[in-house]
Amino acid sequence: MNWALVTGGARGLGAEICKKLSKQGYSLVIHYNTSKVEAEKLKVVCQDLGVTVHLVQGSFNTKETTEKVVEEILTLDVPIKFLVNNVGHYLIESLLGTSEGDWYDLFNINVNAPFLLIKGLSDAVAKQQGAIINIGVAGLESQKADTYSAAYHITKQALLGMTKSLAKELAPQHVTVNMISPGYLVNSIDIPKDLMKLPMQRAVELSEVADMVQYLFSDSGKNITGQNIEISGGVRI
């Protein structure tokens, strides 16, 4: 039995990833913060597909609350082989317009939480030669000066650096570490009203990202590591 942990798994992209993995026979630990009702409904959906599901609630806003989530996951005593760091805090604001509170929240949720989760679960993942996926955003490796969502992009650039460093560090243990960076998802809060302005004239389906997660977790993806795979339809090339 393969176990996967998906953070922020109750809604949106996280829920789509959970559904995809459960259809492939993965048992799940689904993390959520405030979306209890959605998490419980998703649990039933995934269990009906024949897999085991645990729900874990918690905030990533501080080091202490994140460590509590990690402890609860470890208490479940299930062999996590795969990890998807899907939770992300998004802020549309210039750098100087970003409050100190938002700055720390962005780093705690987008950078520190994935770091603490990987630290806490790395032994289990390595023991099973598993895989880690961090969710980024399109354009990180060609990113020019940004004033639209400046602090958010800075955190995702930090997460990309972490992804590459971990990929090199964990390669001898046959653990892959990659980033998937979507463009405008169909549920993005700032998706353009006129999709014809996008390079491929359509948004990214949640299922397209979920399919890539499943591929990287499969035997076909065992030699792919340290990569930032953009699913963006040409956005921010």
Active site residues: 152
Residue whose C-alpha is closest to residue 8's, from 110, 150, 118, 121: 110
Exposed e or buried b for every residue in 82-105, given b needs 16+ CB within 10 A?
bbbbbbbbebebeeeebeeeebeb
- In the numeric block, which tokens belong to residue 198? 């996008």
Contact yes or no for 181/202 (Cβ under 8 A): no
- In the numeric block, which tokens belong to residue 196? 């014809």
Contact yes or no for 60/87 (Cβ under 8 A): yes
Contact yes or no for 199/237 (Cβ under 8 A): yes
Q: In sequence order, which residues have a C-beta less than 8 Å from that of residue 67 and are 6 or more positions away?
A: 116, 120
